[in-house]
């Protein structure tokens, strides 16, 4: 039987089920996965938010169960689906930070492709935007601007934030930088302060990104951190609206020779760290106009192209298409990096010069083909593509992906 695609959702009661069906619709719309080969699953184990007070709330009337019972429920579901459809792709969605990482750890040995979209999908599109930004900066400056020379200040260290850190650091590692050195170039801050080894409240995953010294622990604001680091890249995943909209934050970035790269990825727009217009106007006034991308659609500065949107829809449909067509046995970090590079490589020099870092959403179906091809090539190189008779050339493999996509017009 062909693979199904299974997102899960966290703390919304039964209301979350609508999001699983919406995600699967994007697999069909952009990734060409037949709708009958998708399966939405949501877990209603209570709700910790205010949703239970709504008269239209549907779901368990109690706090969310975070005990071992919850993990057993999810694991039993994954195993049952895997027994029915061994090639199924599992996409986890909207689980809390501690839950998301724990679920991945517990299912790491299952012989099916599993990934968390908040962690990896967000990371793929953000890394693609950064890769495009580096190409754009190279074109503008007349010299090669590398990932390894970047300094990154990041506001937000949750699931999405750490996923973005991992993928952007991967760009450095692909240039030959060690994982340890790459992580040393990242300065993360959350609501408790700068992420350093001196903090005792960090998760296992956050510890890997903690700065080794306590010096930055005394810094109390993100602007103060930027003043200390003079970052070339700002990453926003904090949901703190306007957090980047000050000279204190952007000034140190604009002091660098390189054009700043600013990703304000928090949703919706009111929670974005800075708008496209404000970022353009403020960095232009500071003498070094930034390259910009956001998590939600933004109004453009007058006379400029529509700002880049880092939409996960550029990533997960292509991953599903690759797994279905090439028979990917397990999804690896190298496959995620291949997806990011394939997405970034879609951009032409003229688009980069105009400030575009990713394709427009109208080209999401073509993006899925490119992402699927990149993932499949990495799968073949690593021996994790089980489908027989796969083409050996990239052009032929890309055509196979395109031909494999479901199209409603073909049904009549």
In this structure, are residues 115 and 92 in contact, taking their beta carbons and an 8 Å threshold? yes
Under DSSP, the state recorded for 215 is G
- What does the chain come to in residues? 412
Q: What is the 3-state secondary structure (H, E, C) of 383-404?
A: CCECCCCCCCCHHHHHHHHHHH
The annotation status of 118 as a binding-site residue, yes or no, is yes
- For residue 56, what are its two tokens? 């239209």
Tell me if 50 is assigned to a ligand binding site. Answer: no
Give the 3-state secondary structure of residue 255.
coil
> What span, in angstroms and rounded, lies between the C-alpha atoms of 217 and 21?
43
What span, in angstroms and rounded, lies between the C-alpha atoms of 52 and 132? 43
Tell me if 267 is assigned to a ligand binding site.
yes
Residue with token string 């660098």: 256
Answer yes or no: are the C-beta atoms of 114 and 331 closer than 8 Å: yes
291 three-state secondary structure: strand
Q: How far is CA 75 from its chain centroid? A: 24
- Sheet bearing 308-309, strands edge to edge: 193-194, 186-190, 152-155, 233-236, 261-264, 291-294, 308-309
Cα(394)–Cα(377) distance, integer angstroms: 8
Beta strands in 39-181 (DSSP E): 89-92, 114-116, 152-155
Q: How far from the centroid of its chain's Cα atoms is residue 12's Cα? A: 22
Residue 401: burial class (beta carbons within 10 Å; 0-12, 13-18, 19+): buried
The DSSP code sequence of 173-205 is HTTT--HHHHHHTEEEEETTEE-BTT-SS--HH
Contact present, 10 and 16 (Cβ < 8 Å): yes
Cβ contacts of 312 within 8 Å, gap of 6 or more: 117, 121, 122, 124, 125
Q: Which two tokens stand for residue 205?
A: 């995953």
Q: What distance in Å separates the CA atoms of residue 152 and residue 134, rounded to the nearest whole number?
A: 13
Per the listing, tokens 């998590």 go with 295
Residue 69, annotated ligand binder? no
Binding residue ranges for a divalent metal cation: 93-94, 118
Binding-site residues for (S)-malate: 267, 311
- Going by the annotation, the residues of the binding site are 93-94, 118, 267, 311
């Amino acid at each position: 039987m062909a693979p199904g695609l299974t997102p899960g959702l966290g703390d919304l009661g039964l209301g979350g089920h609508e999001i699983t069906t919406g995600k699967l619709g994007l697999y069909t719309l952009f990734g060409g996965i037949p709708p009958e080969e998708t399966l939405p699953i949501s877990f209603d184990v209570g709700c910790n938010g205010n949703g239970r007070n709504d008269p239209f709330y549907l779901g368990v009337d109690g706090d969310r169960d975070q005990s071992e019972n919850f993990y057993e429920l999810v694991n039993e579901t994954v195993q049952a689906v895997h027994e029915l459809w061994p090639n199924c792709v599992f996409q986890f969605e909207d689980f809390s930070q501690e839950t998301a990482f724990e679920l991945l750890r517990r299912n790491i040995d299952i012989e099916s492709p599993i990934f968390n979209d908040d962690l990896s999908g967000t990371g793929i599109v953000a890394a693609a935007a950064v890769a495009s930004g580096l190409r754009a900066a190279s074109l503008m400056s007349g010299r090669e601007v590398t990932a390894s020379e970047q300094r990154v200040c990041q506001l937000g260290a949750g699931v999405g934030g750490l996923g973005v850190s991992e993928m952007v650091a991967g760009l450095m590692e692909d240039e030959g930088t060690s994982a340890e050195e790459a992580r040393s170039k990242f300065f993360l801050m959350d609501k408790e302060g700068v992420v350093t080894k001196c903090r005792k409240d960090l998760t296992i995953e956050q510890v890997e990104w903690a700065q080794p010294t306590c010096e930055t622990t005394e810094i109390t604001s993100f602007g103060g951190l930027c003043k200390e680091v003079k970052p070339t890249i700002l990453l926003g995943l904090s949901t703190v609206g306007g957090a980047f909209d000050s000279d204190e934050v952007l000034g140190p970035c604009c002091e660098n020779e390189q054009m700043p790269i600013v990703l304000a990825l928090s949703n919706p727009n009111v929670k974005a760290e800075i708008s496209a217009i404000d970022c353009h106007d403020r960095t232009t006034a500071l003498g070094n106009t930034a390259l910009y991308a956001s998590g939600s659609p933004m109004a453009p500065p007058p006379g400029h192209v529509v700002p880049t949107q880092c939409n996960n829809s550029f990533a997960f449909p292509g991953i599903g298409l690759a797994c279905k067509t090439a028979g990917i046995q397990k999804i690896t970090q190298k496959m995620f990096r291949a997806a990011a590079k394939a997405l970034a490589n879609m951009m032409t020099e003229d688009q980069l010069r105009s400030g575009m870092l990713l394709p427009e959403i109208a080209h999401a179906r073509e993006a899925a083909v490119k992402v699927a091809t990149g993932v499949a090539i990495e799968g073949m190189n690593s021996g994790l593509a089980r489908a027989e008779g796969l083409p050996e050339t990239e052009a032929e493999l890309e055509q196979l992906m395109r031909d494999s996509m479901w199209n409603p017009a073909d049904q009549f």
